[in-house]
Structure 1
Amino acid sequence: MQKIEIKAEQFFELLKLKDTSMWEIFSQMIDGNEKEIIFLDHEEKILFNYILPSNPEKLEEDRKEFSKQFSEKLANFN
């Protein structure tokens, strides 16, 4: 499995500047093979990782699950 390391802070800043979602970027990376995307902090420490699926249908399932979990976590903060 191919591993892709991304500096998280720069990645999310770029998304803001381009007004693009990470899911749109991920969809452009799909090529039929799973990839491990590793998000790093400024000290090169792993913050989290994500296994990019090999097809758009699974990516959409992941996006929906992420949105659900994110909404639940936000609700717990309020």
Structure 2
Amino acid sequence: MKTIQIQAQDFFELLKQKDTSMWEVFAQMVDGEEKLIEFIGKDQKIAFNYILPPTLEKLNEDRRIFAKEYAQKLASQN
């Protein structure tokens, strides 16, 4: 499995500037192979990671799961 390291702060700042979502970027990276995406924090350590699936169908499933879990997390904070 190929590993891709991304500077987290720079990545999310670029997404804001380009007014795009991480899911759109991930969709462009799908090519039939799983990839480990490591997001690197300011301390140069892995902040979190994501295994990019090999298909757009699986990516869309991940996106739906993420949205549901994120909404639940937000709801529990209020």
Same fold? TM cut 0.5: yes
The one-letter amino acid paired with 1:75 is: A
May I ask how many residue pairs the two structures share in their alignment? 78
Stretches of structure 2 that go unaligned for 5 or more consecutive residues are: none
1:7-61 per-position Cα deviation (integer Å, ceiling 9, x unaligned)? 1111000000000000000000011100000001011111110000000000000
Which structure 1 residue ranges, 4+ long, deviate > 3 Å from structure 2? none
Cα distance in 2 for residues equivalent to 1:40 and 1:72: 26
Instruction: Look up the match of 1:37.
Output: 37
Instruction: Look up the match of 1:11.
Output: 11
TM-score normalised by L of structure 2? 0.98
Stretches of structure 1 that go unaligned for 5 or more consecutive residues are: none
Q: Kindly report the root-mean-square deviation, in angstroms, between the aligned alpha carbons of the 2 structures.
A: 0.5
Cα distance in 2 for residues equivalent to 1:51 and 1:3: 9
- Report 1:50-65 matches (<5 A): 50-65=50-65
Cα distance in 1 for residues equivalent to 2:29 and 2:9: 19
Deviation at 1:76, TM superposition (A): 0.9
Instruction: Look up the match of 2:72.
Output: 72
- Share of identical aligned residues, percent? 59
